[in-house]
Amino acid sequence: MKQILLLNGPNLNLLGQRQPEIYGHATLADVERDAVALGNELGVAVTCKQSNHEGVLVDWIQEARSTAAGIVINPAAYSHTSVAILDALNMFDGPVIEVHISDIHQREAFRHHSFVTHRADETIIGEGVAGYARALRLLVARL
Ligand code: DHK
């Protein structure tokens, strides 16, 4: 069975408590449970990881080069700052789908640019946590 890595970046561990008017009421555990269940339906094994630390995310992306067929990533604030995460994704051969829960283009100007978009095969913006399910479907369609 193909392995998919679902990666979430900083502060997404507090989904549900964190500015629910922007990020909604679902928790990260809800998102991860639904992603694993959808993966089962689609015939892929989804492994979910979250870190508040840039280097840890880089390590996991590097690891995924030999363990995962594709990556769904919400880099959170690192979207807007991290060339390191972009570089790591550029060494990953499989499809990469980027997710932003909120509509980053309707928010502060510093959120409008994402480094990860330069590598992502598709970017899903502003669909709430439902964006993860769409990302997973798009990813599987590319495998
Ligand atoms: C999540 C974050 O934590 C922010 O830093 C980004 C993104 C937007 C999201 O919409 O999922 O700016």
CATH of the domain at 21: 3.40.50.9100
∠ CA 19-86-123, nearest 5°, is: 55
Q: How far is the CA of 1 from the centre of ligand 1 (A)?
A: 31
Q: How far is the CA of 106 from the centre of ligand 1 (A)?
A: 12
The pLDDT assigned to 57 comes to: 98
The pLDDT assigned to 88 comes to: 98
For range 107-125, the mean pLDDT: 98
Domain that holds residue 64: 2-142
The pLDDT assigned to 84 comes to: 98
Catalytic status, residue 105: no
The pLDDT assigned to 41 comes to: 98
99 bridge partner residues: 124
Instruction: List, for residues 18-71, the tens digit of each pLDDT value.
Output: 999 999 999 999 999 999 999 999 999 999 999 999 999 999 999 999 999 999
Closest C-alpha residue for ligand 1 atom 7:
76
The one catalytic residue among 25, 53, 78, 100: 100
Domain total of the chain: 1
Tokens of 88: 């790591």
Mean residue pLDDT of the chain comes to 98
Catalytic status, residue 132: no
Annotated binding site: 74, 80, 87, 101-102, 111
DSSP string for residues in 51-68: -S-HHHHHHHHHHHHHH-
Q: Which atom of ligand 1 is nearest to the CA of 10?
A: 3
Q: Express as a percent the part of the chain with pLDDT over 70.
A: 100
Q: At which residue do the structure tokens 């700052």 appear?
A: 81
Q: How far is the CA of 76 from the centre of ligand 1 (A)?
A: 4
